[in-house]
Structure 1
């Protein structure tokens, strides 16, 4: 993936508009476990859904650095909103690089115009979250490609205008033969099942969906067995960059609010600024956040340089980013809760809303489970006995 010049329009102003709306509705949508429809409407109006759409198709022409900046800023207001945005951008980038000409020319301008918010359908019962396996086959019929797919978790799926789905390759004979197909909401019969009552990430409304329908052949992305290449070269790298940016933004926002509380007139009266325990915990939280930021930017530059992203050192870097960000950002918020105590750290009505951020960040290690990535990296370590590092 090559670096792309920053969009000419002011991204910070667009993001600030969305973040303000997200923050306004964050407590209610968390309490009620409902999707942030207000923030999605502002994402559409702001043009940010077209962040990674090429300029030639009416988009902002952004790249990985822009995705990271926007996702991190949005997560300071609401991690759920940031995550649905980052995952949408991941789908858009895949369409822009691997979609056929007819699909790109039809779909990308609609995304840029805010008409299409895309959801990712990769989970399947019994898969353990493994991307390169798919039990539901994509079948070729006289009318097109038949989709019959159940996914236990689809982030924002009930509100999506279109979906990128992993399926077993048409005529495939091995579990690892996986393809990627686009389906518009209008092409599908969609049935929602179960209730969405999780610990955190409640406004992401990541419900279970059953999707059935037939789509034309040109909506197959990257060929009949193409998802492995897509995953290694773009899908997974952008997932790790986007997720880490979201988690980093949530933790950095939490530290910012705590620092503001401690330095406020009321905080100066109630909180002992000379407390070694307070200062040590603030320092540890900052160290964790800075370490994730450094690793994220190193991984971003590696992805932007392109080359073989499937190489063992690069895979370990990207997997390590995800694992480290998931663990360190949560640990930073736990340090902050310990620093400010029950009233400002643990109570739900605190202006720091650390309680919500901690619940949201608890999902990070489970979102493509850290254990799975550690297992993969353990194997890669044995293949890279010289302990090769990716150049900065």
Structure 2
């Protein structure tokens, strides 16, 4: 266990200037480490330790628990900055923040009082266990069932084929079928400290892109108190629609946009510095314009969906309405496809040596590999079919 995990540095509220300095330093560190993280396919432990020390594990934790108390607009902004330096690290952090939001909004009083200060202090990096060997990536179903032990303890045994950062996590939010006799959609979300579990890695992570996320398979077993069920027993759907899905889609999309945006900025600087003779070409201008449009469309839609989620939360209106779900699903599919398309266009424009080279001054090859995973990270196929069915429920066609 690393020193950063056993001796966390407490999160501290910071003035805007100091917070900006912290963020700039984090971005610089991530950028220095990015190529090595990708090349070695190693979990970015130094980057996570820096995020812990700067208080960024408590980014969405309210200040009354010692966190930074930041909001979804801040999450979207910072995710883009971090992803522009290292997409693997940014996704690790974004998914931690997704789990933190779940706890803030749905943990019971005792669990919140005990756990949220630890998350805020950088002691607990959270991993999400929602995939299943039977259910695959279907978020709202589970096959592995909870059991009730002596003194009302909850026993869990869980296998998951993909767990981002799981071998390095200090705590887990785990979806489980509520009982052995329950329907597969009667899913409970359970929090478990790492110390309460036996954690066994059952599969590695050697992939085309996103190589630093260490998203290998895990087998988990252990027992937790009954008040570590997060949200209603068997009612994970409510938690997912209110928190896990909207924050996940916002944060992922921000990360993908940040990576593509940073690559485009690097490409523009390279063209201006090394390829000035090409800058008068109408074909170059046309290609640059198409790339910029892809990024503008994602940025604009991301901002609109973020504002809609904030309105739903402020009004306490229904997050499961057809139009809200269509907009969230559309954000994820559009962001994953358009950012990848933008970087693919950049590779074509930069050419074989710079666009396709692993040692290029513009890291397009790594960004292209990383963004290819975006459409697979909760499969777009599933979201397209879901949106088609939802369209039949929104016959007035409520556009964002």
Please say whether Structure 1 and Structure 2 have the same fold, judged by a TM-score greater than 0.5: yes
Aligned to 2:280: 274
Structure 1 stretch displaced more, 12-21 or 80-89: 12-21
3-state SS of 1:173 partner:
coil
CA distance in 1, matches of 2:193, 2:391: 41
Q: Within 5 Å, give how 1:292-371 maps onto structure 2.
A: 292-306=298-312, 307-371=317-381
Deviation at 1:223, TM superposition (A): 2.2
TM-score in terms of structure 2 length: 0.93
Q: CA–CA distance in 2 between the matches of 1:25 and 1:386?
A: 49
Q: Structure 2 CA distance, aligned partners of 1:351 and 1:181?
A: 45
Contact 1:199/1:359 (<8 A) preserved = yes
**Contact (CA 8 Å) 1:162, 1:182: kept in 2 or not?**
yes
1:146-225 correspondence to structure 2 within 5 Å: 146-170=155-179, 173-225=182-234
User: CA deviation digits over 1:219-262, x for unaligned, max 9?
Assistant: 11112112110011111001100000000001100100001111
Q: Does 1:109 align with 2:121?
A: no
Does residue 386 (structure 1) correspond to residue 396 (structure 2)? The answer is yes
Partner Cα separation in structure 1 for residue 284 and residue 169 of structure 2: 44
Equivalent residues of 2:257, 2:339 under 8 A apart? yes
Match in the other structure for 2:293: 287
Q: Which is worse superposed, 366-375 or 164-173?
A: 164-173
Pair 1:80 & 2:127 matched = no
Q: Deviations over 1:262-298 (max 9, x none)?
A: 111x332xx5111222221111111000100000000
Q: 121, 127, 140: which one pairs with 2:135?
A: 127
How many residues align? The count is: 382
Alpha-carbon separation, structure 1, partners of 2:179 and 2:72 = 32
Distance 1:7 1:322, change over 3 A: farther
Does 1:256 find its partner at 2:279?
no
Q: Give every structure 1 segment of 4 or more consecutive aligned residues whose post-TM-superposition deviation is greater than 4 Å.
A: 6-10
Give the C-alpha shift of residue 134 in structure 1: 0.3
Deviation at residue 12 of structure 1 after TM alignment: 3.0
Distance 1:7 1:315, change over 3 A: farther
- Alpha-carbon distance, 1:363 to partner: 0.3
Structure 2 residue matching 1:76: 3-state secondary structure = helix
The verdict on how the C-alpha distance between 1:205 and 1:226 changes in structure 2, with shifts beyond 3 A counting, is: same
Any stretches of 5+ residues in structure 2 without a counterpart? 1-12
**Secondary structure of the structure 2 residue equivalent to 1:359:** helix
Indicate the residue corresponding to 1:3 in structure 2: none
Separation in 1, partners of 2:372, 2:240: 25
Shifted more, 169-178 versus 201-210: the winner is 169-178
Q: Match of 1:99?
A: 107
> Matched residues in 2 for 1:290 and 1:342: separation?
26
Distance 1:12 1:355 in 2: 29
Partner of residue 3, structure 2: none
**In angstroms, what is the RMSD of aligned CA positions?**
1.4
Alignment partners' CA distance in 2, 1:372 and 1:194:
25
